[in-house]
Amino acid sequence: MGTENSHQDRCINYIEFNVADIARSKDFYGKAFGWLFTDYGPNYCEFSDGHMKGGFNASEPVQPGGPLVVLYGADLTEILDRVDAAGGKIVKQIFEFPGGRRFHFTDPDGYELAVWTES
């Protein structure tokens, strides 16, 4: 089963920051690093640093523990099962969002990560 993103399967693909104010975050990262932005409604903005993409999410509370690391997965169900079998805890079951589907899990140390796919 090949997909256009198969070379990215199970790799870090996206980083998401929960922010209090998207405009303030865009202003800061634009001025400090020259990032470019694409808005997806009032509570979400994607950024591009020229190499990797990520997002600013204002619909979730700010998490001082750090950004949400998002991995790409060709088969979400298979990867969810692997995460569960390896001892991870599923904290958000597979759900749809604009652009695809994803789930969230915590690793044995409590770090939350997500895995997404386009379909």
Looking at residue 4, its pLDDT comes to: 61
Q: Per residue of the chain (119 residues), what is the pLDDT tens digit?
A: 345 666 789 888 899 999 999 999 999 899 988 999 999 999 999 999 888 899 999 998 887 778 898 999 999 999 999 999 998 999 999 999 988 999 999 998 788 989 999 97
What residues does 38 pair with on adjacent strands?
46
CATH superfamily of 6-117: 2,3-Dihydroxybiphenyl 1,2-Dioxygenase, domain 1 (3.10.180.10)
pTM: 0.71
* Distance, C-alpha 88 to centroid of its chain: 17
Sorted by where each begins, the domain ranges of the chain are: 6-117
* Distance, C-alpha 71 to centroid of its chain: 7
